[in-house]
Amino acid sequence: MALSFRCRCLLLLCLTAIHSGHGTVQTCMDKHQVVGVLRQMEKFLKGQEMRFNEGLRIMKSKLAALQNSVSKLPQADQSSAPTTCPSLEAPAHGTKFGSKYFVGHEVHFTCSPGYHLVGSATRVCRENGTWTGADVTCKDVSECASNPCQNGGTCVEGVNQYKCTCPQNWSGSHCQHQTQTAPPEWSVMNDPAFSRRPRCAQVNQAQHCSCDAGFHMSGTSDNSICQDVNECEVYRLDQGGKLCVHECVNVPGSYHCACPSGYKLLLDGRSCEDVDECLSQQHNCSRGTTCINMGGGFQCVNPECPHSHGDISYVKTSAFQCERNPCPMDSRSCHLAPKTVSFHYLSLPSNLKTPATLFRMATAAVPGRAGPDSLRFGIVGGNSRSIFVMQRSDRQTGELILVQQLRGPQEISVDVDMSEYSDRTFQAKHVAQVHILVSPYNF
C-alpha cells in the first residue's frame, strides 16, 4: 500500500503529537482530512481487488479452452469405429433379402415352403459392428405337427402335404363334417333341388371328394352327397346380426335379400329403400287430389277448409292452405278464429328414436309492415296429443317434438297453433294440421 509523501508525513506528525509526554495534543490534521485519506485508501483497495479478480477470470477461461482442445485430440490407442457389419449368408432352404451391411441397414430372411424359420427374421447392423438378433436356420416342417385332423382323425405325412384318415361318421379334408344321420340345423335335406353329387378324384390311390361353395358333405365316404348350407339360418344361429335388413331368402348354394312391397333393394344387396310412387308416377290418384308418398306406399289427399259458420269462412289458396275471409269490424269471434289453416303430411318409420323434431312453425312479417313482437305456440287438437310436445326453439320459431316411439302401420294427426301478439295485444292465430303416416318397417 503506497501513500503519498504528504499523507505519510501528516499521519506521522499526528501520531507523534498524540503520544508525546506533554499531556496536550499538538496541531495535527482535522477530522475531515483524515476521512478523505481513508476514502482514498478504500478506493485504492477496491481497484486492486477488481484487477485481481479479472486476472483470475482470464486464467480460468484459458485453462478451460486448453482442456477442451486437449480432450479432442485422438488417443494413440483409440481406433476409428467400424462403419460396416460382417456379411450374412442365406440359410439352407431359405432366402436372404438385403445386400448392404452399413450401420442402420436391415437384412431379412424367409424359409422355403415346408420349412419354418428359427432365429431372427430381421437383423439390423449396429454402430459397434455387430448384428442384432440371432443366427437363422430353416428347419423341416412336419405337416402333421399342428394336428390338423379333427374329431379323432389320423394324419398321414406326404411330400409337402398331408392327408387325414377320418373315423366313422366323420368326413372332410380335416374330418370336420359329421356324417351321422342327423343333419345340422342349417342344412337343407328335404328338397332335391338343394342336393348335388360331389366332385371326386383319385389322388395317390385314394378318392377325394369335395362340394361346391355353399354346400357341405353329408353321408358316408362310400355314399356321400353335397347338401345346401342355409346361410340365413347359419347367420342367425351365430348371432351375428341381420344378414338382410328385411328378409333373407335361401337358394341352392347361396342366398339373397328381399324387400317388402313398396321398397327396392339397394346396391349393397341387403338394404331396402322406399319407392316414391308419387315421384315416379306409379300412383293412381285422380284429378283434384294430391299424391303423398309414405313408407311402402302412397295416399291420395284433398284436404278441405274448415266449414263456414257465422261470420267465419275460408277460401282455399293452395292445395294445402286455407285463408280466412275478411272479418266484419264488430265480429270478435271472427278475429279470434285462425287466420290461416295449413295441412302437412309426414312419413315416419316404425320405432323412430325419440325425442325427434318433426315440424317447425314460424312467422314472417309482410314487406313494409312490422311483425309481431311476441309469439305463443301450443297443441290444440288431434287424436294423439299426448305423444307430442310443442316448444319454442328461438324467438320466431316453434317445434313439434315426438316424445314416444310409434309402431306402424298407423296414421295419427295433431293440430298446433301459433298466436301473434303486438304490445301484448292479440293480433292473429295460425293453425297447422300435421298428419303422420307411420310405416310398419324401421327403414
SS (H, E, C) 280-339: CCCCCCCCCCEEEEECCEEEEECCCCCCCECCECEEEEECCEEEECCCCCCCHHHHHCCC
Q: How far apart are CA 118 and CA 91, in angstroms?
A: 10
Q: How far apart are CA 86 and CA 84, in angstroms?
A: 7
pLDDT at 243: 86
Element (H, E) at 235: helix 231-237
Q: How far apart are CA 429 and CA 183, in angstroms?
A: 71
Instruction: With CA atoms as reference, report the closest residue to 216 among 256, 243, 176.
Output: 176
Strand 425-438 and strand 340-348: the pairing is parallel
pLDDT at 25: 45
pLDDT at 28: 60
pLDDT at 78: 47
Long-range contacts of 109-112 (CB under 8 A, 24+ apart): 109/136, 111/138, 112/138
- The 10 Å Cβ neighbour count of residue 272 is 21
Give me the tens of pLDDT residue by residue for the chain, a chain 443 residues long: 444 444 454 554 445 444 444 444 445 667 778 888 888 888 888 888 888 888 888 888 888 888 877 766 655 444 555 578 999 899 988 998 888 888 888 899 989 887 888 899 999 999 888 999 999 999 877 778 778 888 888 887 766 677 788 877 777 778 877 665 556 666 777 778 888 888 888 777 777 888 888 898 877 666 788 889 888 888 876 665 678 999 999 999 999 999 999 999 999 999 999 999 999 999 999 998 999 999 999 999 999 999 999 899 999 999 999 999 999 988 999 999 999 999 999 999 999 999 999 999 988 766 666 678 889 999 998 888 889 999 988 888 999 999 999 998 999 999 999 999 988 899 999 999 999 999 999 88
Q: How far apart are CA 164 and CA 343, in angstroms?
A: 74
Residue 156 in grid coordinates: 398321414
